[in-house]
Structures are given as C-alpha cells and as structure tokens.
Amino acid sequence: MDALEALLTRRSIRAFRSEPVDPALLHRVLGAALHGPSAGNQQPWRFVVIDDPQILRLLALDHPHASVLKACPVAILVCAETVDLHHPDHWPSDCAAATFSLMLAAHALGLGSTWIGLHPQQDRMAALRGAGLLPPEVEPFALVPLGHPAERTDQPDREHPEWIRHNTYLQPWGSGQG
C-alpha cells in the first residue's frame, strides 16, 4: 500500500481478532513512530508496549472510552520524557505526530488501531501514573490499541472543498486554483 492510499483508507478499529501481533510487525510500527517529525528534532516520545491482558483490562477501567483495551492483543502507550527539552511546549505536538505515524504504519501493515486520548485530561493522565507504568518525569499522551481487525469500517465521505481556503480564510479555494 502506498502512502497516499494508507492516508485515505485508515480508519479507527475498535474490534480485534484474538491472535497476537507478530513482534516483527510491532518493531516496524514503532520504527515508523520513531521517525516522526518533532520540534527542533527533540524527539521526546517514548513508547511502552503493553501486552499483559491484566494491565490492559485495568487500563480499560480507568478511562471512559477505553473498553477496546479489554479485547486487544497489544497497546502502545505513547508518552514523553519532558525533562530538559529545548522546546518544552511542543512535546504534545511531537507525540501527536508519532502517534499518527504509528497508526498509519499499522494500517499499511494490515493492522488496525484507534487513538485513545490521555493528554491533556489530568484525570486520565493520573490514572496511567497511578498504574505504576511511568516514572514522574514521563507524561502520558495516548494509548493505541493494535491488532488484527475483526471489523471493516465504511469509508465516509470526507471531501469538504468548502473547508479549503485560498490565501486568506475569507477566499474559498475554487476552480482554476489547483
């Protein structure tokens, strides 16, 4: 699958088959996340691979939108080491880029995923810290359940040319401009 096809066909998957994810696939997915862009190339992201079913079930209880963790074979906790960053306000953007790179690579490799947000909700972030998965200097950003999809999602119409502007917000992008 080429990059444009992956971008246009990736969808959030919340139902997975029970089979484990091959560690070689996980390695490739994590490699893609490690190659994401970051402010000043600070690369604050860190990743925790969670495949212990008991931990996944506990995490599912602490988040209102994380029930998918109960049945996924593996999840990636995307977090940031925030000590001594040159651009400390940018770690969430950096982690967002890494999270999307991870999810896009998973899709390109035939895996499904979804984004479970943690940052900036302090209660959700505290639940991860309370689970003993992270030291104090590491900020949790997102959880990404991964696995072999047990569902197919429809391709929604996401073409909204009226959302595209030309030179200023007040001028619509129109015919003859590309």
Of 156, 57, 74, whose CA–CA distance to 112 is shortest?
A: 74
**For the residues 105-134, what does the mean pLDDT come to?**
92
* pLDDT confidence of residue 145: 98
pTM as predicted? 0.91
- Highest-confidence segment of 60-69, 91-100, 126-135, 143-152: 91-100
- Written as six digits, the tokens of 19 are 């089979």
Domain contains 166: no
The residue behind tokens 């091959």 is 22
Of 24, 30, 60, 25, whose CA–CA distance to 45 is shortest?
A: 30
Domain contains 63: yes
Of 2, 178, 4, 6, whose CA–CA distance to 106 is shortest?
A: 6
Domain contains 169: no
Domain contains 21: yes
Domain contains 118: yes
Q: What are phi and psi of 22, to 5 degrees?
A: -60, 130
Range of the domain at 109: 3-152
Domain contains 27: yes
C-alpha to C-alpha distance for 104 and 85, rounded to whole angstroms: 26
Domain contains 157: no
CATH number of the domain enclosing 92? 3.40.109.10
* Cα 161 off chain centre by: 26
Task: Convert the pLDDT of each residue in 40-91 to its tens digit.
Answer: 999 999 999 999 999 999 999 888 999 999 999 999 999 999 999 999 999 9
**For the residues 98-117, what does the mean pLDDT come to?**
96
Count: domains in the chain: 1
The residue behind tokens 């590491």 is 138
